[in-house]
Amino acid sequence: MSTLSLALILSLIFIFSFSACFYFIWKYDSSKLSKRLSSFAQNSSYTNTDDIDFFKFLYTRLIEPLIQYSLPKKNHDLEKIKKKFITAGYRQNSILMRFFGLKTFIALAIPIAYLIMVFIFSIGNPARISVIQTALISILLCAGGYYLPDGFISFRMKSRKQELFDAFPTTVDLIRVCISAGMGLDAAITRVGKEIQVMSKAMATEFTLLATELRAGSSREAALRNFAIRTDLEEVKALVSMILQADRFGTSVTEALSIFSEDLRVKRKMAAQAQAAKVPVKMSLPLILCIFPALFVVLTAPVAFMAMGSLK
């Protein structure tokens, strides 16, 4: 098999697997949620008319029975994965089982798709098929497909934590302003959850959940600790500890929030400076691979032509 055909096959398989992972983990539930919200907003009864479609059939008939093959045997491992999903912003009841079924499905579907494409491309010239190469690539694709959903969830978790970290200093400032204006802490949390939506939807979602827990009767300590667990940020954990200590000892929350927000901005500035310091190191590889060869050819080509002319 030629290198071009192999690259084409691998590209098609990667596009297929990433699209399937993206749809089933993210788009499928979000589209249903948006339809339910729009139906409630219009005061109309929600009727799920697209339950019987191709993707629903694919999930119930193919993916759902494969859950048991990738489901962790230990409850400790399952809890760690649940925490990852909560940090990534996925809190649907069915998302965890769908994730494990999708892992097994992609791990089987990618090698099968590769073998089918190899068979199609090799019709008429079976002598060019390398059995060992095909088997090794199939094994690698199986392993890559099994861990592809894990990589997607890790990417979502990292990007969401970065969004929360960027919006956190502004959030703390808004809480301090609300408390300084005479609002209580619970009312300030509810107000900030509405105002911060312009800057960060993830932070607005977390504060809305926090306000909902407080209104539902949960204690402030339990609600704040759940907020810290969901975000999984050290800065949020420090803020929660500071607020709980201020409530316990009766100190001023406004002054503590002011000092805390300044420290957060300094920390964010230092993180930005650290990223900027890495740029020259990261730029060295493209310079060596792309610019220096062309520069070398431009500088040495005239000398090489002159040497060849003198030798003649």
CATH number of the domain enclosing 201: 1.20.81
Do 153 and 167 fall within a single domain?
Answer: no
Range with the lowest mean pLDDT among 104-113, 171-180, 272-281? 104-113
Could you tell me the pLDDT band of residue 63, with boundaries at 50, 70 and 90?
Answer: low
Residue 216 in any domain: the answer is yes
pLDDT for the residue 22: 55
Residue 282 in any domain: the answer is no
Could you tell me the pLDDT band of residue 303, with boundaries at 50, 70 and 90?
Answer: confident
pLDDT for the residue 37: 40
Asked whether residue 67 carries a pLDDT value surpassing 60, the answer given is yes
What distances in angstroms separate CA 31 from CA 34, 91, 312, one per listed residue? Answer: 5, 14, 74
pLDDT for the residue 88: 86
Do 88 and 65 fall within a single domain?
Answer: yes
The residue length of the chain stands at: 312
Could you tell me the pLDDT band of residue 129, with boundaries at 50, 70 and 90?
Answer: low
Whether the Cβ atoms of residue 178 and residue 220 lie closer than 8 Å to each other: no
Residue 99 in any domain: the answer is yes
Q: Which of 191, 193, 169 shows the shortest CA–CA distance to 179?
A: 191
Asked whether residue 2 carries a pLDDT value surpassing 60, the answer given is no
Do 150 and 173 fall within a single domain?
Answer: no
pLDDT for the residue 75: 78
Average pLDDT score, the chain? 78
Asked whether residue 127 carries a pLDDT value surpassing 80, the answer given is no
Tokens of 18: 């990433």
Residue 210 CA to residue 227 CA, distance in Å, equals 6
For residue 114, give its domain range.
Answer: 3-35+49-157
Please report, rounded to a whole number, the percentage of residues in the chain having pLDDT higher than 70.
Answer: 77
pLDDT for the residue 126: 60
Q: Which of 60, 66, 131 shows the shortest CA–CA distance to 102?
A: 66
Instruction: Write down which residue in 133, 157, 181 finishes a domain.
Output: 157
Residue 297 in any domain: the answer is no
Angle (nearest 5°) at CA 125 between 120 and 128: 95
Do 23 and 150 fall within a single domain?
Answer: yes
Do 167 and 153 fall within a single domain?
Answer: no
Whether the Cβ atoms of residue 122 and residue 128 lie closer than 8 Å to each other: yes
Side-chain half-sphere of 33: how many Cα atoms within 13 Å? 11
Residue 104 CA to residue 90 CA, distance in Å, equals 20
Q: Which residue reads 């009767």 in tokens?
A: 217
Residue 32 CA to residue 48 CA, distance in Å, equals 8
Residue 50 CA to residue 125 CA, distance in Å, equals 44
Do 170 and 256 fall within a single domain?
Answer: yes
Asked whether residue 253 carries a pLDDT value surpassing 50, the answer given is yes
CA dihedral sign of residues 227, 229, 231, 237: positive
* pLDDT tens per residue across span 95-110: 777 788 888 888 888 8
Residue 305 in any domain: the answer is no
Do 169 and 223 fall within a single domain?
Answer: yes
Please report, rounded to a whole number, the percentage of residues in the chain having pLDDT higher than 90.
Answer: 4
Do 257 and 187 fall within a single domain?
Answer: yes
pTM of this structure: 0.69
**237: Cβ–Cβ under 8 A, 6 or more apart, which residues?**
228
pLDDT for the residue 15: 61
* pLDDT tens per residue across span 153-174: 889 899 999 899 888 888 888 8
pLDDT for the residue 46: 39
Residue 170 CA to residue 264 CA, distance in Å, equals 9
Could you tell me the pLDDT band of residue 76, with boundaries at 50, 70 and 90?
Answer: confident
Angle (nearest 5°) at CA 42 between 39 and 44: 60
Asked whether residue 7 carries a pLDDT value surpassing 60, the answer given is no
pLDDT for the residue 309: 78
Q: 246-276: string of b/e by CB count within 10 Å (b at 16+)? A: beeeeeebeebbeebbeebeeeeeeeeeeee
Angle (nearest 5°) at CA 124 between 119 and 128: 70
**251: Cβ–Cβ under 8 A, 6 or more apart, which residues?**
245
